[in-house]
């Protein structure tokens, strides 16, 4: 089983400097490869990542554009993995782009990366690093202290060093044996989970869990720090006589105050991410640990984010991250994740008699069934109906494809006694876009 462990590093100032230079090298090589790829496309050629890599290797130590002020090849001071992996990432990015075009999904080609507006990271091959307890030995920098040891035994397949705010992290991809990756489940319940905004998760048992909503809590402080940084940028532009948009190729001098303000803003963004991730991990771990089957809805997250009034609240909760974590944690706990069809009327079905009420409006949070007289909380009723999909209580009363085991790569399948409905495809969802250069476009999500 492939698992990833992200460990915070404690580098020295010299090691931090090398990490920043290696990340800048990876970014610059990506931009060179993308520009050459586009040039070959415009001239009618068929570019290939490996041919581009060979061309780059032939010029990287001799071309004046890759020499320092003394005429020396500065790439020799950076390990070769940092400036060889961008070619593989570029090939994967173009492959994803053309695959999305063929499947008629929203597709975005790779874009150039700009310093300060993309994720700083670089790759390290598995044969170039070595773990020794609470330290890791990296090429060119030697031993770097870790905040914690590696959690699982297994073979390391690769690693990447990345920066988040003013901290550096080492992400290790490990091939863990099945016995070591499996976790013990404490109960064998079956639960339905209805996601919402007022109550992030409503269980079929009637329990409601509210998210911390970190963006809403820190939005005022976020705006204050953003305005402070914006004023410092305007002052830097005015100092060199620039009005309006900064011309391409001009880099503003980085003052200490502007650097300090940018770091404060980045730390606040990182705090928001960590608060949301902490809540989501605890919730999904609890669901997979205490239940043998979890039923959720196949939500159209992209379509929901198009609603300008609800987009911020939905993004602050993280609906797709909830589903993504359930998919891989269900496999570790030996649980089953089932997806109700996107058009299954979980809120409109009476959980007492199964009658369907099509005239139910979104603002009606409590409603009474006109058939049997039962009074329902909208969210609890939806969660109960989702739970009953796993047991098949009302499956025969609906002509819709009601539920299916999630058949994605990170989900355990084949554990449901009876397969009901068809596999629900996942379309137009936001996922991880590492290596494609689209991190800036998806930052709001």
Phi, psi for 209 (deg, rounded to 5): -120, 125
pLDDT recorded at residue 388: 87
Burial code of 10-25, b = ≥16 C-beta within 10 A, e = fewer? ebeeebeebbebbbbb
pLDDT recorded at residue 403: 55
Which residue is listed with tokens 């079905």?
A: 349
pLDDT recorded at residue 30: 97
Q: Across-strand partners of 124? A: 159
Cβ contacts of 133 within 8 Å, gap of 6 or more: 149
pLDDT recorded at residue 443: 37
**Which of helix, strand or coil describes residue 232?**
helix
User: What tokens does 121 get?
Assistant: 């990271």
Phi, psi for 394 (deg, rounded to 5): -115, 15
pLDDT recorded at residue 252: 82
Give the torsion sign (CA, 362, 367, 370, 371): positive
Single pTM value for the model: 0.82
- What are the pLDDT tens digits along the chain (445 aa)? 899 999 999 999 999 999 999 999 999 999 999 999 999 999 999 999 999 999 999 999 999 999 998 889 999 999 999 999 999 999 999 999 999 999 998 899 999 999 888 999 999 999 999 999 899 999 999 999 999 999 999 999 999 999 999 999 999 999 999 999 999 999 888 999 999 888 899 999 989 999 899 999 999 999 999 999 999 988 888 888 887 787 877 778 788 999 999 999 999 999 999 999 999 999 999 999 999 999 999 888 888 899 888 899 999 999 999 999 999 999 999 999 999 888 888 888 888 888 888 888 888 888 888 888 888 888 999 999 999 888 875 543 443 445 556 643 333 333 333 333 333 333 333 333 334 443 344 433 3
User: For the chain, which residues make up each domain, given as ranges?
Assistant: 2-181, 189-211+284-405
Give the torsion sign (CA, 256, 259, 265, 271): negative
Burial code of 53-62, b = ≥16 C-beta within 10 A, e = fewer? beebeeebee
The three-point CA angle 75-78-80 to 5° equals 85
Q: Is 248 exposed, middle or buried (0-12, 13-18, 19+ CB in 10 A)?
A: exposed
**Nearest-angstrom CA–CA distance, 265 and 275:** 16
pLDDT recorded at residue 372: 85
**Nearest-angstrom CA–CA distance, 100 and 428:** 10
pLDDT recorded at residue 406: 62
- Helices in 122-162 by DSSP H: which ranges? none
User: What tokens does 87 get?
Assistant: 């070619």
**Which of helix, strand or coil describes residue 125?**
strand
């Amino acid at each position: 089983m492939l698992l990833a462990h992200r460990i915070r590093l404690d580098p020295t100032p010299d090691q931090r400097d090398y990490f920043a230079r290696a990340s800048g090298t990876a970014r610059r090589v990506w931009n060179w490869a993308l520009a050459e790829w586009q040039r070959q496309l415009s001239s009618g050629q068929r570019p290939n990542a490996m041919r581009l890599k060979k061309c780059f290797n032939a010029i990287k130590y001799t071309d004046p554009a890759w020499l320092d002020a003394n005429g020396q090849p500065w790439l020799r001071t950076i390990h070769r993995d940092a400036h060889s992996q961008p070619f593989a990432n570029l090939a994967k990015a173009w492959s994803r782009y053309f695959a999305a075009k063929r499947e008629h999904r929203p597709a975005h080609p790779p874009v150039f990366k700009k310093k300060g507006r993309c994720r700083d990271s670089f790759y390290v091959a598995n044969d170039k690093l070595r773990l020794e307890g609470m330290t890791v030995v990296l090429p060119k920098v030697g031993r770097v202290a870790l905040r914690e040891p590696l959690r699982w035994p297994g073979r390391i397949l690769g690693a990447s060093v990345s920066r988040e705010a003013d901290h550096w992290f080492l992400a290790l991809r490990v091939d863990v044996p099945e016995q070591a990756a499996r976790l013990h489940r404490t109960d064998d319940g079956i639960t339905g989970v209805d996601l919402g905004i007022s109550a992030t998760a409503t269980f079929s048992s009637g329990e409601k869990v509210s998210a911390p909503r970190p963006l809403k809590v820190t939005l005022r402080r976020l705006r204050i720090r953003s305005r402070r940084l914006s004023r410092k940028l305007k002052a830097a532009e005015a100092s060199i006589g620039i009005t309006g948009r900064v011309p391409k190729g001009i880099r503003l001098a980085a003052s200490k105050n502007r650097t300090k303000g940018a770091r404060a803003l980045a730390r606040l963004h990182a705090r928001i991410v960590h608060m949301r991730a902490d809540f989501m991990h605890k919730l999904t771990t609890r669901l997979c640990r205490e239940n043998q089957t979890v039923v959720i809805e196949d939500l159209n997250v992209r379509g929901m984010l198009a609603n300008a009034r609800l987009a911020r609240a939905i993004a602050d909760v993280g609906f797709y991250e909830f589903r993504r974590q359930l998919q891989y944690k269900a496999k570790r706990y030996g649980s089953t994740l089932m997806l109700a069809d996107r058009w299954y009327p979980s809120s409109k079905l009476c959980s007492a008699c199964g009658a369907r009420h099509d005239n139910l409006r979104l603002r009606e949070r409590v409603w009474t069934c006109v058939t049997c007289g039962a009074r329902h909380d909208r969210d609890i009723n939806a969660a109960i109906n989702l739970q009953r999909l796993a047991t098949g209580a009302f499956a025969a009363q609906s002509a819709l494809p009601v539920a299916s085991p999630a058949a994605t790569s990170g989900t355990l399948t084949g554990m449901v006694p009876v397969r009901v409905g068809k596999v629900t495809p996942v379309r137009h969802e936001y996922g991880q876009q590492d290596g494609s250069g689209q991190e800036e476009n998806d930052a709001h999500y």
